[in-house]
Amino acid sequence: MRPLSEKGPIVVHCSAGIGRTGTYCALDYATDKITAASPLSIPKVVKEIRNQRLHSVQSMLQYLYLHVCLLEYLIITKATNRTPQTRKFQRDYEKYLKKFNQRTAK
């Protein structure tokens, strides 16, 4: 993600406006909290997004994706380092995603 403008709100929308859109908005909100050095709780971020748009971040896959993106953001911004634990988390996510895609392709 990179900001295109500092002015005004962003407009994001997927088909129903809750799954992918909610995940993206939660990611944007969480990165803003990180940038502001505010305490971050991903469940609280999702709850706050859901208070504005019911059922946002619809699936476990989207919830995990949010974690993966935030971890990568923390690594890129040098807030944390890539460690054996972060690599394992990312590998486990990739395995889960591969299994998910195999199940849904049938």
Active-site residues: which are they?
14
Q: Where are the alpha helices (DSSP H) in the chain?
A: 20-35, 42-52, 60-76, 84-104
Distance CA(27)–CA(45), nearest Å, equals 9
- Are 46 and 57 contacting, i.e. CB atoms less than 8 angstroms apart? yes
Interhelix angle for 60-76 vs 20-35, to 10°?
A: 30
